[in-house]
Amino acid sequence: MTDHISLPASSIPGRADAGSAPLRKSEVCAELGISERTLNNLVTRKEFPPGVRIGKWAYWTRKALDNYRARAFTMQENWTPMTPGRGRLR
């Protein structure tokens, strides 16, 4: 007996390929290398989209993870160092 339902790939808007099955919280956390508590905190702070509840489980699409990663790397790529002397306590 499985502990979660399986949704067809066609049930996810914009995705019809075989690898687009929704991801459970544990799978999202494993992919991001974070704990479930951290994921809950990210959702609470609106830094990560909330899961879609189906029954007692929450699911995320692969696209939600890809968008989160893209946003994180965009911030990294746009980073500029502080100019010398700014931000120091004297």
Q: Helix or strand or coil: residue 39?
A: helix
Q: What integer pLDDT is reported at residue 84 of this predicted model? A: 76
Q: What integer pLDDT is reported at residue 20 of this predicted model? A: 76
What is the tens place of the pLDDT at every residue in 41-72?
A: 999 999 999 999 999 999 999 999 999 999 98
* Average confidence (pLDDT) over 74-85: 84
pLDDT classification of 16: cutoffs 50, 70, 90: very low
The amino acid present at 36, given as its one-letter code, is E
CB 33 within 8 A of CB 27: no
pTM above 0.85, yes or no: no
**Domain 22-75 in this protein, CATH class:** mainly alpha
Domain ranges in the chain are: 22-75
Q: Indicate the helix (H) or strand (E) that contains 43.
A: helix 36-44
